[in-house]
Structure 1
Amino acid sequence: MNAREVTVVGAGTFDALELGLLQALQLDGRAPLSRIARRLGTSERTVGRRYSRLRTLGLRVVGQPVPARLGMTRWLLRIHCAPDSAGSVAQALARRADTSWISLASGGTEVYCALTPSTPYERDVLLLERLPRTPRLVGVRAHCLLHLFTGVTSTWYADGIPFGPVHKGEGGEDDGSKDEGGVRVPAFGLPEDPEPLALDATDRALLAELAKDGRAGLPELATAISRSPSSIQRHLERLTTEGALGFSVDFAPRHLGYDLMTHLWLRVAPGEVPAVGRALADHPEIAFAAATTGSHNLVASGIFRSSHDLGRYLDHRIGPLPGIQAVETAPILREVKRLTTST
């Protein structure tokens, strides 16, 4: 796709510049518009106008803590309800601060919910007390996520806008860092099982503010948290480089012509789980992929233009993967909560 080509979908017309902007934000949600403009070969003013237009269509960049790095565990709940109660159950879950990605699937009788409780006590209260007492609830399956193969999840992908090869360091030598979409990503490694990162009051306040707006500027964050901009910068860099903070770009897939979102539950031979998980993470159709407990040991979320595309994906991308024993698909009928905000 070149800069003149356009994509026409339900929300309007998107050209390659806007798709490139979406991709750049997906690579680094806090990338300055000036940097994105340079990489896309246009002016900062033009990128600013396009960014403002996308914002009117619901574009958000949200800062999200990385649960595993903070000693927290993410759960995925599959809640089976009577047909006339799924909506109310989903809305009740959406009001909780520790839930995200709530959707209705399976003919409207199943609620999917990502849960990241801050303490085991809060998890137990929900799973062992509140949900069992909920009227018209048929059953609950709670799956503990063991390993995330994708990064901080996004709800869309914009394909066809290549950013070119990885750039070298300033001196022309490979310095071990990557340049993705004009964004320098420092080369650093974390221990395989690092100790949970301890957070202070400023860290927690910063995470709360970034959950509202991941692109909030340093002066704005400093005012909200009552700290100096230099202090905010230090805390932001620490959370990011330590792998405790990521940024998710929220933009409804339907705006880009992707009208079918689907949960995929895969049963994979145990020795093949890592390879299949990495393969799924490399597929542009997959926004989320993780190893999990339960009878299906891999779960993924895919985004497709149509049921025909889903069928082709299952036949040509999932079918050839090694060790696949079973696949269950559950198309999403309605999203109730995306990230931290109810729809």
Structure 2
Amino acid sequence: MAIQLHDSSKGLEQLQILHALQLAPRAPWAQLSGVLGVDSSTLSRRWRRLNDAGEAWIACQPGYRADWYYSQPYGSTAYVEVTCEAGYQDSVISALSRIPCVWTVECTTGSRDLLLTVTTPSWAELDRIVREQLGRIDGVVKTVTNPLRRFYVQPGDWRLNALTADQEQAILTMRTNQHAPDPGSGRRQPSPFERQIVKVLAADGRLSMAQIADATGRSISGVSRVLHGLEASGLLSFRLDFNQHVIGYKLLSTLWIEADQNQLDKIGAFLRRQSRTVRECVSMVGQANLYVHMWVQDLSAVDLLEAQLIQRFPGTRILDRWLSTRFAKRAGHLIDNDGRRHGFVPSLGL
């Protein structure tokens, strides 16, 4: 039975843990204890229960702002729409989920059956993968590739509403003090040891320093120093992922928008401020040049955002809208029909 987080005082405490981990995914429980007012052993136990049940996990991946995400082996990313032959969707999902360069598999309503996030070293390789691998899966009728240009809102930017403003600020300050940003150092390729750390953390981003040291054969102090540098430089990012159904966010809505190209940065800035609704916003190449994905509790939130966009940015058109019925894979993590994590497929290059 799924753990329900939105229907009890204990559930509220667990939501606060999740919100805290959105802000600081690897924060020690001893530090979060003072902010949340719950002893560290209780925090650890409740997290372990959620994690063991597949209801929540910490994803780890190359930072979107790092050069190496857009070079080898992460050079070119696109949303690929997939139309399936009737009766083949489950087998198509199973085949797609095993492919390392397919980061995300999303089941949708509307004109496509699935929406994939696919990342490859180059546009030529992306074209080859779509034609020779994705397009040849039994049951795939049609694919449409939509190249990505720029992330305005990353999936890890979406926030729950379980902490007070003071608690949020305390955790953000704590994290900033530990990992002071160093944007300049992100303009480089990671070392073999740094890549090894990312590979170890890919399946479980909350592994302890001792566990990482054991897996890499390095000292705890060496691992700690390098990992802190990766986070500060933006070469590595962590995010909390979870079964959105257990927290009451059962509606996953997507808008494809046509907007004035000169207005995209302003629209992106506006959508970044909608951190309780907008989970992802990316500019694309195509007639729809903006993708907006929302996690909401009620479709009225989607209606409100549409109205605000059209009012604030005249000429903006909503070309398509649909609901996501479920994720089968998200950032490499496999997800079952009930929204629980049940496995992991390492991405290319990790």
TM-score band w.r.t. shorter chain? 0.7 to 0.9
1:335 aligns with 2:327: yes
C-alpha deviation, 1:127, in angstroms: 2.0
Q: Secondary structure at the match of 1:258?
A: coil
C-alpha deviation, 1:292, in angstroms: 1.2
Q: What is the match of residue 293 of structure 1?
A: 285
Unaligned runs of 5+ in 1: 1-5, 168-177
TM-aligned CA distance change 1:233 to 1:52, over 3 Å:
same
C-alpha contact 1:156 1:250 (8 A) present in aligned 2: no
C-alpha contact 1:29 1:247 (8 A) present in aligned 2: yes
TM-aligned CA distance change 1:195 to 1:221, over 3 Å:
closer
TM-aligned CA distance change 1:64 to 1:117, over 3 Å:
same
**Higher mean Cα deviation, 329-338 or 26-35?**
329-338
Distance in 2, Cα, partners of 1:90 & 1:154: 24
Distance in 2, Cα, partners of 1:137 & 1:166: 45
C-alpha contact 2:25 2:206 (8 A) present in aligned 1: yes
Q: What is the match of residue 181 of structure 2?
A: 188
- Code of the residue aligned with 1:53 in structure 2: it is R
Distance in 2, Cα, partners of 1:200 & 1:121: 26
C-alpha deviation, 1:74, in angstroms: 2.2
TM-aligned CA distance change 1:34 to 1:294, over 3 Å:
same
C-alpha contact 1:108 1:333 (8 A) present in aligned 2: no
1:215 aligns with 2:206: yes
Distance in 2, Cα, partners of 1:104 & 1:247: 24
Aligned residues: 322
After the TM superposition, which residues 68-107 of structure 1 pair with which residues of structure 2 at under 5 Å, given as runs? 69=66, 70=68, 71=71, 72-106=75-109
Q: Secondary structure at the match of 2:34?
A: helix
TM-score, normalised via structure 2 length: 0.82
C-alpha contact 1:259 1:305 (8 A) present in aligned 2: yes
Q: What is the match of residue 114 of structure 1?
A: 117
After the TM superposition, which residues 241-320 of structure 1 pair with which residues of structure 2 at under 5 Å, given as runs? 241-283=232-274, 284-315=276-307, 317-320=308-311
- Code of the residue aligned with 1:126 in structure 2: it is I
Identity between Structure 1 and Structure 2 (%): 21
Q: Secondary structure at the match of 2:27?
A: coil
Q: In the alignment, which of 152, 160, 163 is matched to residue 161 of structure 1?
A: 163
Q: Deviations over 1:235-258 (max 9, x none)?
A: 212221221111111111111111
C-alpha deviation, 1:155, in angstroms: 9.5
1:66 aligns with 2:59: no
Q: Secondary structure at the match of 1:145?
A: strand
Q: What is the match of residue 218 of structure 2?
A: 227
C-alpha deviation, 1:134, in angstroms: 3.8
RMSD of Structure 2 on Structure 1 (CA) = 2.8
Q: Deviations over 1:293-331 (max 9, x none)?
A: 11111112111113344334433x444331422242120
Q: Secondary structure at the match of 1:184?
A: helix
Greater fraction helix: 2
**Higher mean Cα deviation, 26-35 or 117-126?**
117-126
C-alpha contact 1:104 1:334 (8 A) present in aligned 2: yes
C-alpha contact 2:100 2:332 (8 A) present in aligned 1: yes
Q: Deviations over 1:101-149 (max 9, x none)?
A: 2111125942111112245564233123223434443332222221111
Q: Deviations over 1:53-102 (max 9, x none)?
A: 33244210121112551123322111222232333222212101222221
- Code of the residue aligned with 2:224 in structure 1: it is Q
C-alpha contact 1:156 1:251 (8 A) present in aligned 2: no
Q: What is the match of residue 175 of structure 1?
A: none
Runs of 4+ in 1 over 6 A off after TM superposition: none
C-alpha contact 1:63 1:211 (8 A) present in aligned 2: yes
Distance in 2, Cα, partners of 1:307 & 1:208: 38
C-alpha contact 2:20 2:171 (8 A) present in aligned 1: no
Unaligned runs of 5+ in 2: 336-350
Distance in 2, Cα, partners of 1:253 & 1:181: 27
C-alpha contact 1:20 1:40 (8 A) present in aligned 2: yes
Distance in 2, Cα, partners of 1:325 & 1:36: 43
**Higher mean Cα deviation, 129-138 or 258-267?**
129-138
Q: In the alignment, which of 11, 14, 19 is matched to residue 15 of structure 2?
A: 19
**Higher mean Cα deviation, 74-83 or 115-124?**
115-124
C-alpha contact 2:106 2:326 (8 A) present in aligned 1: yes
